[in-house]
Structure 1
Amino acid sequence: MTTQAARTEQPLLSVQDLKIRIETDNGVMQAVDGVDFNIYKGKTLGLVGESGCGKSLTSRSIISINPKECETTGSAVYHSESEKALHNLDLLSLPPTGKRIRSIRGRKIAMIFQEPMTAFSPMYTIGNQIMEAILIHRTKDKKKAKKIALEMLAKVGISDQEKRFDQYPHEFSGGMRQRAMISMALSCNPELLIADEPTTALDVTIQAQVLELMRELQKELGMAILLVTHDLGIIAKMCDEVAVMYLGKIVEQAPVKEIFYNPKHPYTKGLLKSMPRLGGNKSKRLDSIEGAVPMPIGLPPMCGFYDRCKDRIEGVCNTKAVPKTHISDQHSVRCFLYEDQSEGESQ
């Protein structure tokens, strides 16, 4: 059961009980532990949390591009509106190197990777790399593919496209590489765009331009977006719904306004308090969450945020697994502070 139970339309993608285990020398790492969420056409779901919470592994598992060491279970059911063969298809059941999932990657589900400096191969031109996806998924005609690639470069705001088409990644600035990556991701008109920290290492001006570009292209193409970030400012601007992730679990999920104006989980509250605010007291230090995300190896059944939480209940939070409590049809939280507000689901 997810927080979107009240919605009647069918989700484009429904992820249920996603778990990712990794064998290490120190034991089994439970990197992702029972994650549920739905993504709807034309909407943006934000996946937010500190580094090490499992956000990138979660997003990459959808198109099966995690390292081989990752043992993934659960389901990611895809409901393509344009192809019956891809309707009600569990992506996690497909072989990671098989034809079926490769036909979906880039064409139906595209991804903007976290680091624009290394996402492109230095051995090939930008145009060549954008054309590759187009030639695989849209047309075998190289002239048509080049025309589409040039149009996409223009659409993302890169001028002098003919010249830029034949340049190598090192000849592009960070902002231009990010734009080129977006043009490559959108070159096949995907139904779902996974954006993993799409504005990493960009200055504030370029960041704003990239985010605005993504919003405009979303409206134009009607695609859904899964936005992975640790920046709540980006979440506020871009998302319709937010899933707050901590230690491999979604600890709170709700519409974006609900998260900002009525946060429930102590971790969510801590993230919001740590945000700088315009007009705030410059002499006052920003609040911070003490401690760090623990390594998810051999952890007992208890609240993962226990050691860092100021509101913890001794003898409760550290003795058993935390159930999911539904505050409302669209707002859920994993915290013992709200266990009596509805019937929780131990997961």
Structure 2
Amino acid sequence: MTAQAAQAQQPLLSVQDLKIRIQMDNGEMNAVDGVDFDIQKGKTLGLVGESGCGKSLTSRAIISINPKECETTGSIMYQSSSGESANPLNLLSMDPSGKQIRSIRGRKIAMIFQEPMTAFSPMYTIGNQIMEAILIHRTKNKKEAKKITLEMLSKVGISDQEKRFDQYPHEFSGGMRQRAMISMALSCNPELLIADEPTTALDVTIQPQVLELMKSLQQEFGMAILLVTHDLGIIAEMCDEVAVMYLGKIVEQAPVKEIFHNPKHPYTKGLLKSMPRLGGNKSKRLDSIEGSVPIPINMPPMCGFYDRCKDRIEGVCNVQAVPKTRLSDKHMVRCFLYSDQHEGE
């Protein structure tokens, strides 16, 4: 196998044993605890789970923008598809404010933030804020940078680009701000787009437009997407593979069709049952997962879903850490119901 062929088979991004700890007054919080996943070139990985599961901290760790209080260990290996580096780069080993990570952040790996209302500074025009990234990463020519900015505004469906270029964020609606944020993230043709809850702040009429826009731009630019969301409907529409996250751990990971048609973890099953369905019984209440995500401070070795799980095994799930179980080459679950240890007992 040639070096080029070997490089082509490598994932664009490989996260291994990612841990994020935060020192609190009452102990140490294990906000992210041993997360592993790969993102393939041109594919979409969905990271799904309830609020408080560690999804946003995981995604922000990739570009080193978590608060200084976050103690991060593990490795995040990035293999550029442009061939600039023969070997993968460990993003976690880089200085968060150093030149090397800043050459990757925004240029090679871009992010759509969760809240479009506050993502832009109210002090500068939309056009100037989009141009800033282009001037840093693509060209020093302001005329050319403005031309690229206007083209990107057009690509995301914002009309009258010349006028909008000189407007401030408060003059944009929520949907337009989300589109402008997408245009800013894609203005440097990134290889990986991290989309953290990209439709949360939008009304239901705008959400499908933004998702369709992301899919069409992905095909045009050939980029990979890490889609962070709690909405399984969006996961079904957008993703090739799904990683279900709970209490800082990935509890199940598989191709999207496998997750929807053959879920294994009780938490995954609970999420799927809580989805509304077209044509369902209108008088029947949706299922829900009782309880809430616990705070992961000074937790003993046990299954984090134990208190909320209807299938828990007393004396097993609450006394030891849960191992990973490979059900197939592409399907992993972290549950004693499928582990060899439980089968032996």
Q: 1:5 — aligned with what?
A: none
Matches for 1:155-166 after TM superposition, within 5 Å: 155-166=155-166
| 2:197 is aligned with 1:197 | yes
Q: Distance in 2 between matches of 1:236 and 1:26?
A: 39
Distance in 2 separating the partners of 1:189 and 1:83 = 15
Equivalences for 1:112-123 in 2 at 5 Å? 112-123=112-123
CA distance in 1, matches of 2:40, 2:86: 16
Q: CA deviation at 1:26?
A: 1.2
Tell me how far apart the structure 1 counterparts of residues 117 and 26 of structure 2 sit (CA, whole Å).
Answer: 32
Contact 1:81 1:87 in 2 (8 A): no
1:1-37 deviation digits (Å, cap 9, x = unpaired): xxxxxxx921000000000000111111000000000
**Cα contact 1:15–1:37 (8 A) shared by 2:** yes
C-alpha deviation, 1:200, in angstroms:
1.2
Q: Work out whether residues 78 and 86 of structure 1, in 8 Å CA contact, stay in contact via their aligned partners in 2.
A: no
Alignment partners' CA distance in 2, 1:94 and 1:118: 28
Q: What SS does the aligned partner of 2:178 have? A: helix
Task: Tell me the distance in 1 between the aligned counterparts of 2:24 and 2:319.
Answer: 26
Go from structure 1 to structure 2 and tell me whether the alpha carbon gap of 1:159 and 1:146 turns closer, same or farther (over 3 Å shift).
same
CA distance in 1, matches of 2:87, 2:41: 14
Within a 5 Å distance, the mapping from 1:39-188 to structure 2 comes to 39-85=39-85, 87-188=87-188
- Take 2:263 and 2:342, find their aligned partners in 1: how far apart are those partners? 17
Give the aligned length: 336
Q: CA separation in 1, counterparts of 2:108 and 2:228?
A: 18
Cα distance in 1 for partners of 2:100, 2:238 equals 31
Map of 1:4 onto structure 2: none
Where does 1:31-42 land on structure 2 (aligned, <5 Å)? Answer: 31-42=31-42
Length-normalised TM-score, structure 2? 0.96
CA distance in 1, matches of 2:318, 2:186: 46
Equivalent in the alignment of 2:298: 298
CA deviation after TM superposition for structure 1 residue 84, in Å: 2.6
Partners of 2:338 and 2:85 in 1: how far apart?
42
* Amino acid corresponding to residue 332 of structure 1 in structure 2: M
SS at the partner of 1:293? coil
Secondary structure of the corresponding residue to residue 47 of structure 2? strand
Opposite residue 170 of structure 2, the aligned amino acid is H
Contact 1:325 1:341 (C-alpha < 8 Å) held by counterparts:
no
Post-superposition offset of 1:82: 1.0
Q: Tell me, what secondary structure is at the counterpart of 2:283? A: coil
8 A Cα contact 1:191 1:224, kept in partner: yes
Classify the secondary structure of the residue corresponding to 1:310: coil
Contact 2:79 2:85 in 1 (8 A): no
Calculate the TM-score normalised by the size of structure 1: 0.95
User: What's the CA shift for 1:86?
Assistant: 7.3
Q: Which runs of 5+ in 1 are unaligned?
A: 1-7
The alignment's C-alpha RMSD in Å is 1.3
Q: Distance in 2 between matches of 1:341 and 1:95?
A: 42
Residue 4 of structure 2 is matched in structure 1 by none
- Identity across the alignment (%): 86
For the residue of structure 2 that corresponds to 1:75, the secondary structure is strand
Which residue does 2:338 correspond to in 1? 338
Unpaired runs of 5+ in structure 2? Answer: 1-7
User: Following the alignment from structure 1 to structure 2, what is the Cα–Cα distance between the partners of residues 45 and 113?
Assistant: 17
- Indicate whether 1:250 and 2:250 are aligned: yes
Alignment-derived partner of residue 3 in structure 1: none
Is 1:279 matched with 2:286? no
Change (3 A) 1:313 1:332: same
Distance 1:254 1:174, change over 3 A: same
1:311 aligns with 2:311: yes
Structure 1 stretches of at least 4 aligned residues deviating more than 2 Å after TM superposition: 83-87, 340-343
